[in-house]
Structure 1
């Protein structure tokens, strides 16, 4: 089954066309390769109001997976986590920890990422949201962790059993 997904790039410089968005395409291509139906690219400046609105718009439009990229570091303009956290019904900290650990094998800078994973519950179906780092390497590390999990996460949000070989209980 193909689930709808969205990728939102959060970067002042990419939004102003100062440089090309390089991590967003990595995430979009990765989701597409997994069979997700990926919405058109969204590139926003580092503005918490715009970021929160883009995430809720994506979920309201039916996205079951929303991946953001950028704004997870420690600079004053890194606000993606702060824009996302109030939208979450609950966090999934193990996913963010696994992504940081995957990156730490390659660079000590990975431990500076404040990436966040969680579930949004709105009027429609629940959705998974993950804040990935804004680098191509960080996006690749996120996909390496998320790829075997994303379909299962969506199925779990819909009530599937933990054992994918058994149907969901009523």
Structure 2
């Protein structure tokens, strides 16, 4: 199965072209190499709730992404608003995935408790917030990578529980 994946970076400096988006590159590599996914859209927006919301809606509805991965805007700074914007877009939260990311990464890095990212479902898409650093992206995404195929099968209606066959 090839999962249609979109990447959204929330970064004021990135949107102004003042910072190279190395976190999105880590996402791209992990999705293509470990999940076998296809990147169908990539965008950088400033840390503005309305722009994040509009991009998430377009990625799920126009690009029909099975998986939308965000990077940036998930810490404690005043402009870090990605979780709040995501919460306004999703219909159902998937708290276990966010909890698993924090718990796994906290074993190595206590500052992971400051990560405020959430995971949730909009229509037939899974949206996952990731940190804004390449190392943070790698650690957090690796914590849930093994469960992404099953989650995506469930969300897209393709899941067949072997116990129910």
What TM-score do you get using the length of structure 1 for normalisation? 0.89
State how far apart, in whole Å, the 1-side matches of 2:134 and 2:104 are. Answer: 14
State how far apart, in whole Å, the 1-side matches of 2:13 and 2:46 are. Answer: 7
| Deviation by residue 1:14-73 (Cα, 9 ceiling, x = unmatched) | 111222111111111111111111124211110111111111111111101000000011
State how far apart, in whole Å, the 2-side matches of 1:76 and 1:162 are. Answer: 43
Any stretches of 5+ residues in structure 2 without a counterpart? Answer: none
Matched-pair contact (CA < 8 Å) for 1:156–1:162? no
Give the aligned length.
Answer: 162
After the TM superposition, which segments of 4 or more aligned residues of structure 1 sit over 6 Å from their partners? Answer: none
2:45 equivalent in structure 1: 44
Query: SS of 1:39's equivalent?
Result: strand
Deviation at 1:159, TM superposition (A): 4.8
User: Going by fraction, where is helix more abundant, 1 or 2?
Assistant: 2
Any stretches of 5+ residues in structure 1 without a counterpart? Answer: none
Q: Which range moves more in the overlay, 154-163 or 75-84?
A: 154-163
Deviation at 1:150, TM superposition (A): 1.4
CA RMSD of aligned residues (A): 1.5
State how far apart, in whole Å, the 2-side matches of 1:128 and 1:6 are. Answer: 10
Query: SS of 1:118's equivalent?
Result: strand
State how far apart, in whole Å, the 1-side matches of 2:42 and 2:94 are. Answer: 25
2:99 equivalent in structure 1: 97
Deviation at 1:105, TM superposition (A): 2.1
Matched-pair contact (CA < 8 Å) for 1:13–1:19? yes
Q: Which range moves more in the overlay, 136-145 or 57-66?
A: 136-145
| Deviation by residue 1:57-115 (Cα, 9 ceiling, x = unmatched) | 11111101000000011100001011110111111111101111222122221100101
Matched-pair contact (CA < 8 Å) for 1:7–1:67? yes
State how far apart, in whole Å, the 2-side matches of 1:63 and 1:27 are. Answer: 15
1:66 equivalent in structure 2: 68
